[in-house]
Amino acid sequence: MKTLDELYQQMLKRAAEGKPVGVDGDPKLIDCLAHPDDHPLIWRVKPCLCPPDEPHHCQEACDWGAITSGPDGIAIDDSQCVGCQACVDACKLDTLKTRKDIIPVVQELHDYDGPIYAMVAPAVSGQFGPDITMGKLRTAFKRLGFTGMLEVAVFADILTLKEALEFDKNINSEDQFQLTSCCCPMWIAMIKKLYHQLLPNVPGSVSPMIAGGRTVKALHPKAKTVFIGPCLAKKAERKEPDLVGAVDYVLTYQELRDLFSVTNIDLASLPEDNLPHASEAGISYAYAGGVSEAVTETVHQLNPDRQVDIKTRKADGVPACKAMINDILAGNRDGNFFEGMGCMGGCVGGPRAIIKKEEGKANVQAYGKQAAYKTPMENPYVIELLKKLGFPTVEEFLERSHLYDRKFD
């Protein structure tokens, strides 16, 4: 019997060639690959063989209560799973696999008669090789059949501006504080599930991924959007009830690498198709501390004479995020703007990154230094985009930025 990985490679190649993806193999595994939306985020691909009288390592690794055990082994509650992948990493018997969404995307590229936009997360710098530029990637996406490629860092710029405006409006005394709401779905899941009392301190902003999808669909209503990043949790975020519809598919860098492989696209030989739009601030969202840096710079530009200056704290990795939140609850804040990232190192340390987080951060920082603008306040493309969306001034953007708002329960 073919393994999931063998079926995946065979079906992906057939999809890339425009052929039907039906192959011989386990019907359940084939259906998972062909119709991933009908299945959970984490797939159990074979029977659970852990001794019933011993702790299940995957269950112990889950911080979210998504895994239960029974007579048939473990079961995963998809409604509670945030996509941290800790259970997959903890499984010693290779029973659990992470979801793959790329086969339906490739079929869309062949069959859909409307525009399809790729939206790449800011951590993409260097993921496909040190010489693979954004311009080469944009060319590659168009050769695959995408209408175009957008850098999600542009929408990080917009949300930097939104969070800085929120901070400047709401934090006016030493006892007030704000938790960043954008970027990391694990950070938001932690607050919603474990620290619900802090939700009033979280401005209701969507993530850059959702902002990108909503923007594309506001400007191109028939478009489909495909987010590509290093994060499995984004696949769960896309399906949250208040966010459904912004992003049609979420892929990982590893899935995209697989597609480049089966289509024999030589990235290094491709011509440049450059369209830089993001500022250094938006690009910096890819690594831990980048959101804090971006919002701090923008707050200072918005209101350099603030009586209460922004003072940031950051944490990366679930244990460190919990420790920082527990400090807040204990009154040991030592800050008024708090950034949390679920992965060590931030998004560059995501479970589906291709290169090591240290190399990823260095690549992102080098790319950020090449940006023409340091913050969204200086970036004319951000201002032009906001005007296209109906916000003639920055102040009006704050007052009625419903496109980028979300309601936390």
- 185 and 229 both lie in a single domain: yes
Nearest Cα to Cα of residue 148 among 254, 223, 235, 248: 223
Identify the domain boundary among 76, 99, 122.
99
- Can you give the CATH number for the domain in which 82 is found? 3.30.70.20
- Give the chain's radius of gyration (CA, Å): 21
Q: What is the predicted pLDDT for the residue at 398?
A: 72
- 280 and 388 both lie in a single domain: yes
- 298 and 342 both lie in a single domain: yes
- 81 and 171 both lie in a single domain: no
- 316 and 378 both lie in a single domain: yes
Contact 180, 340 (CB under 8 A): yes
409 residues of the chain, pLDDT tens digit each: 788 999 999 999 999 999 999 888 999 999 999 999 999 999 888 888 887 777 788 888 888 888 888 777 788 888 888 888 889 989 888 889 999 999 999 999 999 999 999 999 999 999 999 999 999 999 999 999 999 999 999 999 999 999 999 999 999 999 999 998 677 999 998 898 889 999 999 988 899 999 999 999 999 999 999 999 999 999 999 999 999 999 999 999 999 999 999 999 999 999 999 887 899 999 999 999 999 999 999 999 999 999 999 999 999 999 999 999 999 999 999 999 999 999 999 999 999 999 999 999 999 999 999 999 999 989 999 889 989 988 888 778 877 778 898 887 6
Identify the domain boundary among 99, 117, 144.
99
- 32 and 109 both lie in a single domain: no
- 198 and 339 both lie in a single domain: yes
- 177 and 226 both lie in a single domain: yes
Alpha carbon separation from 256 to 102, 141, 144, 231, 235 (Å, rounded) = 8, 10, 11, 13, 15
- 180 and 235 both lie in a single domain: yes
Alpha carbon separation from 241 to 2, 7, 30, 65, 406 (Å, rounded) = 36, 31, 27, 20, 11
Burial readout 319-358 (b: 16 or more C-beta within 10 A, e: otherwise)? ebbbebbebbeeeebebbbbbbbbbebbbbbbbbbbbebe
Identify the domain boundary among 99, 126, 160.
99
Count of structural domains, the chain: 2
- 90 and 217 both lie in a single domain: no
The pairing of strands 42-44 and 178-179 is unpaired
| Separation between Cα atoms, residue 335 and residue 320, nearest integer Å | 16
- 63 and 203 both lie in a single domain: no
Amino acid letter, residue 148: G
- 108 and 66 both lie in a single domain: no
pTM, two decimals, is 0.94
Q: Residue 117: which domain range?
A: 100-409
Q: What is the predicted pLDDT for the residue at 30?
A: 94
